[in-house]
Amino acid sequence: MPNDSSAKIASIYRYPVKGLSPEQLPSVTLTPGQTLPSDRRYAIENGPSKFDPDNPKYLPKAYFLMLMRNERLAGLQTHFDDTTNVFTVRHNSREVASGDLETADGRAAVEDYFRQEFASDLKGAPKILTAPGHSFSDVSAKVVSIINLDSVAAIEQAAGQPIDPLRFRGNLYVDGWPGWHEFSLLGETLAIGDVKLKVKKSIVRCAAINVDPVTAERDMNLLKTMVRHFGHDDCGVYAEVVSGGTISAGDKIEIVSPELRL
């Protein structure tokens, strides 16, 4: 498969708390077999999940507050500080909650906000969950999600209106691939400098992409649009980090030749 020398990382994002704000990163250090650092490190339990932090296991997103059902989450502006573990929630640019998510008191301060403001969305007391090394991803494997911006542009053209790529909540956004090129990369290894990622599977989308990440309105039915125009509702791919290192926005992406694959 020929390399496309124009392909590059357009932007990098992580999502410290499942369902809440993306945070753009200029660069990130990847570790083999792991997600982006602090990606989906926390989740807000919505009803008893029986999650055991001493024996953490994958749970379906239905156990948590999530954009697929709780679109009002997109109306919050949140930030996680890696140095202090302080998580800050703002609404309409006003701070409404803050706390150190590695302490019981800090978690309680943030949980109290969701208990009061999201009462109609809750199936039980909200609880911030975390466990060392665990990621509350939509899939059980520890992977990096990659979104092709030309595929988003194809969906935008089909929908007939602008689409914010952040609807797809990816980690790496790629510029320079033709639309849907990512699906031809399944099983291939991508090289970004010294970093190598093995493309594992396409991403089946859910109704979360129907929510505008800025207005918090459920304003489109993109799943229906995608099936009608393209015959599928996939967008993006998951990849496993097989060789670690630091990557940055603007870095070139290549296909590893067969003799160099790990």
β-strand partners of 245: 30
Question: What tens digit of pLDDT does each residue of 138-163 get?
Answer: 999 999 999 999 999 999 999 999 99
Task: Write down the pLDDT at residue 4.
Answer: 60
Question: What tens digit of pLDDT does each residue of 54-72 get?
Answer: 999 999 999 999 999 999 9
pLDDT surpassing 80 at residue 257: no
- Choice between 259 and 244, residue whose per-residue pLDDT is larger: 244
CA dihedral 168, 174, 175, 181 (to 10 degrees): -90
Query: Whose CA is closest to 83, among 53, 38, 25, 27?
Result: 38
**Percent of the chain having pLDDT more than 90?**
95
Confidence of residue 35 (pLDDT cuts 50, 70, 90): very high
Task: Write down the pLDDT at residue 2.
Answer: 46
CA atoms within 13 A on the CB side of 223: 11
Query: Whose CA is closest to 92, among 211, 212, 214, 208?
Result: 214
The domains of the chain are located at: 8-34+139-260, 43-129
Confidence of residue 262 (pLDDT cuts 50, 70, 90): very low
Task: Write down the pLDDT at residue 258.
Answer: 59
Instruction: State the maximum Cα–Cα separation within the chain, in Å, rounded to a whole number.
Output: 57
Cα(252)–Cα(247) distance, integer angstroms: 10
Taking the whole predicted model, whether its pTM rises above 0.75 is answered as yes
Query: Whose CA is closest to 138, among 169, 167, 116?
Result: 169
Task: Write down the pLDDT at residue 1.
Answer: 46
Q: CATH number of the domain at 8-34+139-260, please?
A: 2.40.33.20
SS3 77: strand
H helices within 21-161, ranges in order? 104-117, 149-159
